[in-house]
Structure 1
Amino acid sequence: MTVIDKIQALETVLQQIGKVTVAVSGGVDSMTLAYVAHQTLGDKAKMVHATSSAVPGADTQRIQKYAKQQGWQLELVQAGEMQNSAYRSNPVNRCYHCKSALYSTLTTIGFGQVVSGTNLDDLSDYRPGLIAAKEKAVRHPFVEADIDKSTIRLIAQHFGLSDIAFLPASPCLASRVETGVFIQPEQLDLINRVETSLRKQINAENIRCRLLAQRLVLQIDEDKLSTLHEVMINNIIADAQSMASEVGLSLPVDVAPYKRGSAFVRVA
């Protein structure tokens, strides 16, 4: 099937649903879904974005920019996950508690069917948030239209959304915290500040500041990391240590190649 066929299949799913609240995180999946939902349903599509210390400010700004440019109905909410001790204790299924809070909040808004940017590729990954979605009867139009991540990027390109079509994956900031390490807002802010600083210095697709129990690990795409001089590596380590000290953390800082999901302890 062509990209046009996939777009038509997605539009058909949305038309059948009729009225939607789109959970918009700011990544390519939810942003593309929001765009197509608005194009297809007009004022019967509402975008809702949950702000918290776990959400990078750049994501919120991106959503607000698009809402203004495209005329989206946009509502910012606080889902309240930071008040949930089960979430902040950071178990392996932390995402379940986050998404449960999010989808409960979106359901309460009462604007049609809650939909997410989940795609086919997500179904093969460990995503406890999908359990929360099922419990709250959230629908996934990309899945229903048989669309995967690469096709979403093609759809975004088709509509000229070049600034989001090539966005790298950007899970919430809490995903950088090692499983079992208690989540604290000031530490999430530290992670965001360090990653923002690194992106200004290094043109890499994937950059992560991972907070482990005994250290910080700055991860950079291996091909980019291999080109960095020792002086620059020492400088970014010193900068990260300085920012960490501002929130009361005195931890060693390592630099390593990017590895997806390496702050998690996976279920056996």
Structure 2
Amino acid sequence: MSIDYKLNMLKDNIRKLKSAAIAYSGGVDSTFLLKVAHDVLGDKVIAVTAKSSTYPEREFKEAKQFAEEIGVKHIVIVSEELDIEGFSKNPTNRCYFCKKELFTKIKEVARESNVEKILDGSNLDDTRDYRPGMEAAKELDVISPLKEANLDKEDIRELSKSMGLRTWNKPSFACLSSRVPYGSEITTSKLEMIEGSEQFLLDLGFRQVRVRHHGDIARIEVSPEERKKFFNVELMDKVVDRLKDIGFKYVTLDLFGYRTGSMNEVLTEKEKK
């Protein structure tokens, strides 16, 4: 199945919907989906972005800017995950609670805006990892058109590049809560430490960054090709000093480097059900 065929399938499927509310984070997938949907449906599309303590300000600013550039109606809501019962305890199905809250609120926005369907940016690759949020999407009739068109992340990046979207090579991002090990309580202070640490590393020029919060320990993941930057002792000292100022007592580098869903590596198949 060619990439052009997949793109045409995506457009045809969206065209049949007549109107849509896009769960829009500003990431690679939701930006691509929003652009295609807006091209196909015009002002029958709205973008809905949820602000919360798990969503970095830099991501919100980028999302807002793009929505303004293409002229789509952009609605910002508050969806504070830490207020959701059970979420802060950080169970293995944490994402289910988050997505259920998010999609429920977007559904209300869609109803008020006379929009028929809710779409999210899940793609084919998301079916290959543990994604409890997909169950919430299914329960609330959220459509995942990228997945339905058999588009994976590589396809989406390639098409985004051909469309001139600056997000085509944007590093993957997940909510800040994903940096806290399952079973360890998620708090505002932990999220602030994570966001501050990651922003510092991004400001130093790293592109793909995760700072996992293991109590007193910060476990830094950067893309495999960026690991060699840490051979610079001056850089190491700078990172250690800053992350200790932020609140960590020990600063470590994950030698394996960044990989999607590293926190899921400790889960058994039983825990994923």
**Superposition TM-score, scaled by structure 1 size:** 0.92
Alignment: residue pair count: 261
User: Structure 2: how far apart are the matches of 1:67 and 1:126?
Assistant: 30
User: Is the CA contact 1:178–1:213 (under 8 Å) kept in the aligned structure 2?
Assistant: no
Post-superposition offset of 1:192: 1.0
Superimposed CA distance per residue, residues 127-186 of structure 1 (whole angstroms, 9 cap, x where no aligned partner): 00000001111111112222111111111112111x200011111111111111111122
Identify the residue that residue 80 of structure 1 maps to in structure 2.
80
Identify the residue that residue 201 of structure 1 maps to in structure 2.
204
Post-superposition offset of 1:52: 0.4
Post-superposition offset of 1:105: 0.5
Superimposed CA distance per residue, residues 111-134 of structure 1 (whole angstroms, 9 cap, x where no aligned partner): 220111111111121100000001
Post-superposition offset of 1:201: 1.3
Counterpart pick for 2:160 among 149, 156, 160? 156
Identify the residue that residue 212 of structure 1 maps to in structure 2.
214
Identify the residue that residue 27 of structure 1 maps to in structure 2.
27
User: Is the CA contact 1:19–1:44 (under 8 Å) kept in the aligned structure 2?
Assistant: yes
Matched residue type, 2:150: D
User: Is the CA contact 2:22–2:119 (under 8 Å) kept in the aligned structure 1?
Assistant: yes
Q: CA RMSD in A?
A: 1.5
Q: Which runs of 5+ in 2 are unaligned?
A: none
Counterpart secondary structure, 2:142: coil
Identify the residue that residue 253 of structure 1 maps to in structure 2.
251
Identify the residue that residue 8 of structure 2 maps to in structure 1.
8
User: Structure 1: how far apart are the matches of 2:67 and 2:172?
Assistant: 21
User: Is the CA contact 2:53–2:80 (under 8 Å) kept in the aligned structure 1?
Assistant: no
Counterpart pick for 1:183 among 183, 186, 200? 186
Matched residue type, 1:227: K
Identity, in percent, stands at: 30
User: Structure 2: how far apart are the matches of 1:263 and 1:24?
Assistant: 24
Counterpart pick for 2:241 among 238, 247, 263? 238
User: Structure 2: how far apart are the matches of 1:192 and 1:213?
Assistant: 15
Matched residue type, 2:49: H
Matched residue type, 1:149: K
Matches within 5 A, 1:43-192: 43-109=43-109, 110=111, 111-161=115-165, 163-192=166-195
User: Structure 2: how far apart are the matches of 1:196 and 1:214?
Assistant: 19
**Superposition TM-score, scaled by structure 2 size:** 0.91
User: Structure 1: how far apart are the matches of 2:213 and 2:263?
Assistant: 8
Counterpart secondary structure, 2:86: helix
Post-superposition offset of 1:226: 2.2
1:266 to 2:228 alignment: no
Post-superposition offset of 1:216: 1.4
User: Structure 2: how far apart are the matches of 1:65 and 1:20?
Assistant: 20
Q: Which runs of 5+ in 1 are unaligned?
A: 245-249
User: Structure 2: how far apart are the matches of 1:65 and 1:267?
Assistant: 41
> After the TM superposition, which parts of structure 1 deviate over 4 Å for at least 4 consecutive aligned residues?
none
User: Structure 1: how far apart are the matches of 2:25 and 2:194?
Assistant: 18
Matched residue type, 1:185: T
